[in-house]
Amino acid sequence: MKNVLLPGLLISSLALTAVYAAEEPNADAYREMTYGDRDANPALLVVDRGEELFKEKRGPKAVSMEECDFGLGKGVVKGVYAELPRYFQDTDRVQDLESRMITCMTTVQGFDEAELKKKTYANEKANEDNTDLEAIAVYIASQSDGMKINPPTAHPKEQEMIKVGEALFYHRTGPLDFSCASCHGADQKRIRLQNLGNFSKAGKDAQKAIGGWPTYRVSHAAVRTMQHRIWDCEGQMRLPDTEYGAPLSVALIAYLTAQAKDGTYVLPGMSR
């Protein structure tokens, strides 16, 4: 982790000598240099793998995920991520992409839920490749590239989920007394050199973050999804491991996505 950060630090400290007085230190120049070319995004390899997994007849029932409804009708993949999280009548729940994938893979393909959740994320410390769940998620999400962030908010359950997510955003707990708002509640803040979006207000910070996720984390050499993002943040707050796709994470994702409304998805993303 520290090693990966070094090139960024080096470059930004070079930049600093020139503009120290005028600008807060950050690693933007490094990022632009590294992630400017969208064809350079190794997530594209994972998207291809996800597409194969999605279309393959899998699970005890040997059916493909094309039999699933992600909100715009059975088999529709294009644009579904742009309109998630949303309320689903069959489960009577608001679901994000990943909790909906679990519904699909258990009910339609017949996979065992506990088995699916055993290994949700690749461990970057072990140089692992992305899990099937991560690959499928980034494939589906990437089919909303270029589209507006447009989560539906007409259903009362959708409104409720956003409200609960907002309350959770300000909920302080754990040995460091943190809530999400401790780091993401004001403009122009940084942890060390890492810029922090202000997600307490709707608009460009949330649009940039949500719009670029799932993302290829260069420091992880792996694609990371929103479920992973929430899990990682909670871990940094020194809280227990979040349960994949549980309403807690879905509520936070629903709130953040509502804050990002009218932004544009640029997927797959690529970041530090």
Partner 1 sequence: MASVKLKAKVLEGGLVEVKALMTHPMETGLRKDSATGELVPAHYITEVVVTANDKEVLKTNWGGSVSKNPYLAFNYKGAAGDKVKLTWKDNKDATDSAELTVE
Partner 2 sequence: MKKTLLASVALTVLAGVAWAADDEKAIQALVDQYISTGYQQGEKQHLERLKQDETLITCSETRNIPSPEQAKAIIEREKATIKYPEGNKMLGNWEKGKEVFNTGFAMRVGVISPDKADKPRGGNCYACHAADPKEVAAGNIGNSLTGYGKMRGNSEETVKYTYDKIFNSQSMMACSNMPRFGHNGVLSPEQIADLVAFLVDPASPVNK
- Binds 126: which of partner 2, partner 1, none (CB < 5-8 Å by kind): partner 1
Active site residue 183: no
* Residue 241 DSSP symbol: P
Q: Does residue number 48 form part of the binding site for partner 1 (CB under 8 A)?
A: yes
Residue 193 binding result from partner 2, partner 1, none, given CB thresholds of 5 to 8 Å by partner type: partner 2
Closest CA to 68 of 98, 46, 38: 98
45 binds partner 1 (CB under 8 A): yes
Q: How many CA atoms lie within 13 A of 62 on its CB side?
A: 0
Binding residue count for partner 1, defined by CB under 8 A: 16
19 CB burial (10 A radius; 0-12, 13-18, 19+):
exposed
Q: Which x/- pattern, by CB under 8 A, does the window 101-140 give for partner 1?
A: ------------------------xxx-x-----------
Beta-carbon contacts of 268 under 8 Å, excluding residues fewer than 6 positions away, are 41, 43, 44, 46, 47, 138, 141, 142, 145, 214, 215, 216, 223
User: Nearer Cβ to partner 2, position 95 or 109?
Assistant: 95
Interface residue with partner 1 among 14, 20, 29, 52 (CB under 8 A) is 52
Between residues 36 and 73, which has the closer beta carbon with respect to partner 1? Answer: 36
Q: Closer to partner 2 by CB, 47 or 209: give it.
A: 209
Please identify, among the stretches 30-38, 139-147, 155-163, 219-227, the one whose residues bind partner 2 according to the rule CB under 8 A: 155-163
- In sequence order, the 6+-apart residues with CB closer than 8 A to the CB of 22 are none
Decide if 116 contacts 102 (C-beta within 8 A).
yes
Return the residues of window 202-231 that contact partner 1 according to CB under 8 A.
Answer: 218, 221
DSSP string, 6-20: HHHHHHHHHHHHHHT
User: Minimal distance in Å, beta carbon 121 to partner 1?
Assistant: 16
Q: Which is nearer to partner 1, 37 or 241 (CB)?
A: 37
Structure tokens at 21: 């007085």
Report the residue from 224, 249, 263, 272 that binds partner 2 according to the rule CB under 8 A: 249
Pair 206, 169: CB distance under 8 Å: no
Asked whether the beta carbons of 245 and 228 are under 8 A apart, the reply is no
- Which region, judged by CB under 8 A, interacts with partner 1, from 14-22, 40-48, 143-151, 169-177? 40-48
Query: CB 36: neighbour CB atoms within 10 A?
Result: 9
Chain residues in the site for partner 2 (CB under 8 A): 9, 13, 16, 24-25, 72-73, 123, 125, 150, 152-156, 159-160, 162-164, 167-168, 170-179, 181-183, 186, 188-194, 196, 202, 234-235, 238-243, 246-249, 251, 258, 261
